[in-house]
Amino acid sequence: MNQLVVRNILPVLIIFCLSFGIARAQDGLSPEQVVQRLFEGMQKGDSVMVHSVFASQVSMATILRNSKDEPVIRHEDSIADFLTAVGTPHSDVWYEEIWDIKVEVDGDFAQVWCDYAFYLSDVFSHCGVDAFHLHREKTGWKIFHLSDTRRKTNCNIPEVVRKKHNDASVH
């Protein structure tokens, strides 16, 4: 029985695994790597790099609380203002640190969900959750929707992230 498995099933399993790896390599970056590339571009102030991870049509939504502590959703149907902000020279480095990354893939659709803390250089700005929706195009995975939450408290920022930014406060 064991020889039957080794002789007949193992080669099929190896071919399947190799073909999956080759197909993945041809796609380029994984959904998580696309998200990491976005944050790398933001950190470098490189709007071309940031633009490269987005689909041609993008929507964004931010969930936050207004000055009266009421929940608000802010919609955007373009990333043009975001790209301008990234590419306009600014003295602070934009760091979006992420953790607890969860990736779900179904064919040509993927979702990346993660906690984040945003720093201007080493000054804490806000935290929340990022939720990215991506689809696989001929050139690879592209973000077509980004939603995030924003808050300044109850962040549970990992120690390693806080140390990286010399952040001794509790958020």
Query: Does any domain span residue 132?
Result: yes
Query: Does any domain span residue 5?
Result: no
Burial profile 69-90: b = 16 or more Cβ within 10 angstroms, e = fewer: eeeeeeeeeebeebbeebbeee
Query: Does any domain span residue 76?
Result: yes
Burial profile 20-49: b = 16 or more Cβ within 10 angstroms, e = fewer: eeeeeeebeebbbebbbbbbebbeebebeb
Tell me whether strands 54-65 and 71-76 are parallel, antiparallel or unpaired.
Answer: antiparallel
Q: Which two tokens stand for residue 22?
A: 């080759």
Domain CATH for 140: 3.10.450.50
Per-residue pLDDT of the chain (171 residues; tens, 9 = 90+): 555 444 544 343 333 333 343 334 335 899 999 999 999 999 999 999 999 999 999 999 999 999 999 999 999 999 999 999 999 999 999 999 999 999 999 999 999 999 999 999 999 999 999 999 999 999 999 999 999 999 999 999 999 999 999 988 878
Decide: 143 and 32 in contact? Cβ < 8 Å. Answer: no
Query: Does any domain span residue 83?
Result: yes
Strand order in the sheet with 109-120: 71-76, 54-65, 140-149, 123-137, 109-120, 94-106
167 C-beta neighbours (distance < 10 Å), count: 18
For 61, the domain range is 29-164
Number of domains in the chain: 1
The CA distance from 141 to 54, in Å, is: 9
The predicted pLDDT at position 49 comes to 97
The predicted pLDDT at position 20 comes to 40
